[in-house]
Amino acid sequence: MVVEPGPQRVLARLRGEIDTEDSDGLRGRLTEALDSSRHGLDVDLSAVTFCDSSGLHILLDLNRRALTAGKTLVLTAASRPVARLLRLSGAEQVLTVRDRPTPA
C-alpha cells in the first residue's frame, strides 16, 4: 500500500491480494490514512488482483468509520476481481465506487 496525503483527502493505492492473511495490517494502515485525512480517503483498487470477504469487510467497516467521522470513503478504479466481489455482494450499492483512477 502506498499512501499519498493531500490537503483535503488521502489517497491509498493498494496492490496485490487482499485476504485474511493481510487483513489486520491493511485495516490498521487504512484506518490511520482515514484518520489523518481532513475530508476522507480515496482507495485506488486498480492493482488489486484478488480480494476475499475479509477485504470486503475492511472496506465496509472503513466506510462506516468514515461516515461516523463526517468523512467519505471513495473506491476508485476497482480491478475486475474487486468489481465482481462488490457487485455479487451488493456492496456497490453501499460503497461509493468510481470508475476512474485518482490522478497521481
Look at residue 46 and tell me if it is in a domain. yes
Look at residue 38 and tell me if it is in a domain. yes
The total domain count for the chain is 1
Question: What pLDDT is attached to residue 99?
Answer: 87
| Domain ranges, residue 26 | 2-98
Question: What pLDDT is attached to residue 101?
Answer: 61
Look at residue 21 and tell me if it is in a domain. yes
Q: How far apart are CA 97 and CA 83, in angstroms?
A: 9
- Tens of each residue's pLDDT in the chain, 104 residues: 999 999 999 999 999 999 999 888 999 999 999 999 999 999 999 999 999 999 999 999 999 999 999 999 999 999 999 999 999 999 999 999 998 765 65
- Nearest alpha-carbon partner for 35 in 2, 74, 66: 66
Look at residue 104 and tell me if it is in a domain. no
Would you state the cell numbers that stand for residue 27, as one nine-digit string?
485495516
* Per-state percent for the chain, helix, strand, coil, to nearest 5: 40, 35, 25
Question: What pLDDT is attached to residue 22?
Answer: 83
Domain containing residue 76: CATH number: 3.30.750.24
Other residues' Cβ atoms within 10 Å of the Cβ of residue 33: 22
Look at residue 103 and tell me if it is in a domain. no
pTM of the model: 0.93
Find out whether 12 and 30 touch, Cβ atoms under 8 Å.
yes
Look at residue 43 and tell me if it is in a domain. yes
- For residue 85, the surrounding DSSP H or E stretch is helix 80-89
